[in-house]
Amino acid sequence: MKLFDVKNLTKTYHGEVETPVLHDLNFSIERGEFVAIMGPSGSGKSTLLHILGFLDNYTSGEYKFNEKKYQDYTEDETAGVRNKEMGFVFQQFNLLSRQTVYDNVKLPLMYSNIKEKDWDARIKKVIEIVGLSHRSDYITSKLSGGEKQRVAIARALINEPNVIFADEPTGNLDSKSGQVVMETLQRLHRELGHTIILITHETFTAEHADRIIHIKDGRIFSDKVVSERRDAKESFFK
Residue 173 near residue 204 (C-beta atoms within 8 A): no
Provide the percentage of residues in the chain whose pLDDT is more than 90: 70
Q: Which of 4-13, 47-56, 171-180 shows the lowest per-residue confidence on average (mean pLDDT)? A: 171-180
How many secondary structure helices (H) and strands (E) does the chain include?
7, 10
pLDDT attached to residue 110:
86
Find the mean pLDDT for residues 168-181: 87
pLDDT attached to residue 140:
93
**Alpha-carbon distance 50 to 46, whole Å?**
6
pLDDT at 238 over 60: no
pTM above 0.95, yes or no: no
- E runs forming strands in 39-173: 60-65, 68-69, 86-90, 163-167
pLDDT attached to residue 93:
82
Provide the percentage of residues in the chain whose pLDDT is more than 70: 96
Find the mean pLDDT for residues 51-69: 96
pLDDT attached to residue 237:
40
Residue 208 near residue 185 (C-beta atoms within 8 A): yes
pLDDT attached to residue 114:
86
